């Protein structure tokens, strides 16, 4: 996930940025919009909690932070869930070469939305 990622579809755009993991935390940010207008932004972090488990925290716009617990991970994929959250309840990230894929959904697999970002730069 580390790196700078972008998606451009005509006038629609989105980008996401992730720091390398260090001292038990990765810090991320995303934004999306249309033309020169911002439509959405989010601060994110993935932290190793006191019990050693990973958790994803998201702060969308001016909302309160929401925690998602890691339920599955390996070298190419990580899945976070929060059954008490309205939407999404599941967030899945996975890498495929120079692509970062994201899928959000409800726990039952409904209301799926897929995003794919290309690595910025070389």
Q: Kindly list the structural domains of the chain, giving each domain's residue range(s) and its CATH number in brackets, ordered by start.
A: 3-119 (2.40.128.20)
pTM reported for the whole predicted model: 0.92
pLDDT value, residue 88: 97
pLDDT digits (tens, 9 = 90+) for 42-97: 999 999 999 999 999 999 988 999 999 999 999 889 999 999 999 999 999 999 98
Are 83 and 89 contacting, i.e. CB atoms less than 8 angstroms apart? yes
Answer whether residue 25 shows pLDDT above 80. Answer: yes
Neighbours of 106 (CB within 10 A): 15
């Amino acid at each position: 996930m580390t790196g700078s990622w972008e998606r451009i579809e005509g006038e629609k755009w989105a980008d996401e940025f992730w720091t390398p993991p260090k001292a038990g935390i990765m810090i991320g940010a995303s934004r999306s919009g249309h033309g020169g207008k911002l439509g959405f932004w989010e601060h994110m972090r993935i932290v190793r909690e006191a019990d050693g488990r990973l958790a994803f925290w998201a702060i969308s716009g001016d909302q309160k932070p929401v925690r998602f617990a890691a339920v599955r991970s390996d070298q190419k994929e990580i899945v976070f869930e929060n059954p008490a959250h309205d939407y999404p309840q599941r967030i899945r990230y996975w890498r495929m070469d120079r692509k970062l894929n994201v899928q959000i959904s409800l726990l039952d697999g409904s209301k799926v939305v897929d995003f794919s970002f290309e690595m910025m730069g070389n």
